[in-house]
Structure 1
């Protein structure tokens, strides 16, 4: 089989390990979407049996769309990948399907939001477009919102707002390759600072270490919710970010705060094997 990776980084650990598994019997090539041109992907270019879309840039999505129009199989599909770049559309699709997704409001810009009425309590403000190094910040006051708007170079781009849900302070990351699930948890960057690792030291802001979890260690019902995301969004390789919302009775319930197409799934035993099997199973007849 001929398998093509749409990525600017074929050395990514997941892709490199998958390539090592496939290469002895199959041809694996990488296409950098930054360098792909229409001339290079025109009718004269033979199609691979399957393309793995490990990039979400406009160039990568345009390339994937072109390949699909020519009859190529692309995992994940270009339309599904593009939808998850728009946090407004993502929330609308998830909520319409009955998933426990965070209620999401859209605003024309961070600047406009900061100039508007006071926010009703703590919120999480995110860039509407999901991308590397985008805005994800907890805002507890009008002053903090104005400060954020003044500091961000993208303050005039659309944002979404989600009410901050009281939770246990940990992000639960669940990744899926078809029906195979992988999981971990790590201290949320929106939570209180965590203590420094070592014998002494002040609390440190941001994330703490990632703690691997077996899929069987997920709270009851979370695996089923993750697989439901696949059905709703038409995905084969994806990630779901959960927080556990703590109610007044002390019980926790899952809340989905983000969904990603083709995440890195780093340091998860069995992930390269699952991705290799997915590629082979999706090859064109």
Structure 2
């Protein structure tokens, strides 16, 4: 099999470990979609396509390349559509709510100054998720005005700040296999170490949390993804969903990713967004 990593950093720990597992019997390559000014489609050259592409990069050029590959019939994990969808926090919240997932209440505004009568504290995020985007806790009107001055033209979403333990439950899923850990929330005030010394692996994860995480993949059409849950009395509340996150330090994750790559390479195709599946059924029924 020939497996290609679409990534700006193929040396990322989970990618490097996955490549090391595959390399003895399979050909593993990497492709940086943001290298130079070459149009994404031309990066592929004229040779045959790989058997599967793992889409770790999320930049516009990476998504354009993934779409081009899919148009040519190549399987991409995660799909370009599912990856792009998770970059729109408004669409993410809307689909989650319509699907019955416990996602944080989310309001959208064309700019920070246009948020109607906010209740403090709240969390302000860029509507479009990307590297270096806005994610900030706001406790009063002074802080809100300062952010409006710093980000005058930024479309945003606002969510209520939900008090917790000061930690987040980070859940990662690779082809249905669940991994997890607690991480200090960058938005929380200093908090003590969580009960149990922070132990929070798959054995400590309640069954309903694991099932919730798997449900997210079905709803959003993802095979490799992360779910951030509030850790505290208001849980379970989903505060973010990420396509193909880093999954650092999780024993078994590279093995799961390698197995997924080989399965998709053999079978072809991955998940589709629910809207895509419905459109395909409608088309087939005509």
Q: Same fold (TM over 0.5)?
A: yes
Gaps of at least 5 residues in structure 2 are 268-286
Q: State the 1:134 CA deviation.
A: 1.4
Give CA deviations for 1:158-187 in whole Å, capped at 9, x if unaligned.
000011222222111000101111111122
**Equivalent residue, structure 2, for 1:126:** 125
Q: State the 1:190 CA deviation.
A: 1.4
SS in structure 2 opposite 1:259? strand
1:41 matched to 2:28? The reply is no
**Equivalent residue, structure 2, for 1:179:** 176
**Equivalent residue, structure 2, for 1:31:** 31
**Equivalent residue, structure 2, for 1:232:** 219
Contact 1:125 1:159 in 2 (8 A): yes
Consecutive aligned runs of 4 or more in structure 1 exceeding 3 Å deviation: none
Aligned partner (choices 57, 60, 63) of residue 59 of structure 2 = 57
SS in structure 2 opposite 1:28? strand
Contact 1:182 1:213 in 2 (8 A): no
Describe the shift of the 1:211–1:70 C-alpha distance in structure 2 as closer, same or farther (beyond 3 A).
farther
Contact 1:239 1:263 in 2 (8 A): yes
Contact 1:4 1:28 in 2 (8 A): yes
Contact 2:229 2:235 in 1 (8 A): no
Contact 2:33 2:43 in 1 (8 A): no
Aligned partner (choices 92, 101, 104) of residue 102 of structure 1 = 104
Structure with bigger helix share is 2
TM-score by length of 1: 0.87
Q: Distance in 1 between matches of 2:76 and 2:14?
A: 18
Describe the shift of the 1:48–1:254 C-alpha distance in structure 2 as closer, same or farther (beyond 3 A).
same
Gaps of at least 5 residues in structure 1 are 198-209, 247-251
TM-score by length of 2: 0.86
Q: State the 1:40 CA deviation.
A: 3.2
Contact 1:245 1:255 in 2 (8 A): no
Q: Distance in 1 between matches of 2:108 and 2:42?
A: 39
Q: Distance in 1 between matches of 2:231 and 2:248?
A: 23
Q: CA RMSD in A?
A: 1.9
Describe the shift of the 1:41–1:232 C-alpha distance in structure 2 as closer, same or farther (beyond 3 A).
same
Q: Distance in 2 between matches of 1:118 and 1:235?
A: 35
